[in-house]
Amino acid sequence: MSEKTAVAVLLGGRNSENYRSCQSARDVIDALEEKGYQVTAYGMSMEANWISFGDLNSLKNALKIDNFELSEESIKDISEVTESLLPPTSLLETTVVFSTLMGGWGSDGTIQGMLETEIVRFVGSDTLGGAISSDKSTAKLLMEAVEIPTPKHVIVPDRSWRRDPVSNVMRAALLKVPLVAKPARGSNGVGVSYIRVPRDFKKGIEISRNFDGRVIVEKYHESKQLFECNILEDEKGKIVLSEIIQTNFKTKDKVFNFISRSDKSSFSFTKAQDLEADIIKLVHDYAKRTFEVLKMSGYAQIEFMIDKEGELLVVEVNCQPYFGKDGSFALSWKEAGVSYSDLVDRIIKEALSRPAGLI
């Protein structure tokens, strides 16, 4: 089937995840070609223009550049590039789309909605699952409704902040410092700030508001262990769990934000060691329940923390994780005995097994 299946890889995006999407696409394209798929590539530039790549090898060479970002400037060095304001018809005629777009206007239901409207199959969560899981404020409310532990928080809506910032600061203050402010629909640690003392409340919220009008302020938990357990669905919709992967920090940053995430020398990933059997059981249970309550499909990355008091918490959910071979998502499946090319192949086959459109 794979020799006849046309797969369009979608990369870039108009947000801070653009370069990570490009890194993901580089490895995904290689894996798809290894498995014999007919591969084409399309992108969204930082300026929100659609890009069609007629010379895949030229694109692959560009993607080898460190921190390559898809933009009006960078595409000048790629052969056979076509720009358009609207999604290319050839993209919408592809059998299945493998999007590596992350964050706002990428994995948050926007691209998924466009593809569903055009009845195009694609990997990962649908419009609803992408929108819910990408919005921390909504995701946390649903997790709390089914008793999945997550840090206590308050939501600061845009209108409420513009109307009366003082009352929102007072609501956040009830959680007591230290706190962490985050853009509700942010990703990759962009706009995350550590609030150490009450006078930092307004500044911390304003930093997050630069990236999203809706902000979530949550109780800071000092991490003892930070790890993830990831999910795949097979062609019959059965959930498969990865090995648990631990993040090891070489610095003592208070929060894992954009700056610390961008410095790969400051952390590493390894298979988690010395987790007690009852903790592993809870991690598996919370991962599956989170996947289901947030309406996700295809695959997901579920991040956990054990804090200094020994409490297990779900701290982050990604319906579209970083797909690079050097990332924790790929490592979690490698440790489970699934090679990278097989991982990509399984994701494509699961997408093909689903009906196109609403599921």
The pLDDT tens digits of the residues spanning 263-302 come to 667 779 999 988 999 999 999 999 999 999 999 999 999 9
User: Rounded CA gap, 226 and 314, in Å?
Assistant: 10
User: In 10 A of CB 23, how many CB atoms?
Assistant: 23
The length of the chain is 359
Question: What pLDDT does residue 358 have?
Answer: 61
User: Rounded CA gap, 260 and 316, in Å?
Assistant: 16
pLDDT range class, residue 356, cuts 50, 70, 90: confident
Is the confidence at residue 357, as pLDDT, over 70?
no
Domains and CATH numbers, the chain: 2-122 (3.40.50.20), 133-149+222-353 (3.30.470.20), 153-219 (3.30.1490.20)
Token pair recorded at residue 214: 């809706």
The answer to whether the CB of 149 falls within 8 A of the CB of 283 is no
Closest CA to 216 of 283, 143, 309: 143
Is the confidence at residue 165, as pLDDT, over 50?
yes
Question: What pLDDT does residue 256 have?
Answer: 59
Question: What pLDDT does residue 190 have?
Answer: 86
What pTM was computed for the model? 0.92
Question: What pLDDT does residue 345 have?
Answer: 97
Q: For a pLDDT cut of 90, what percent of the chain falls above it? A: 86
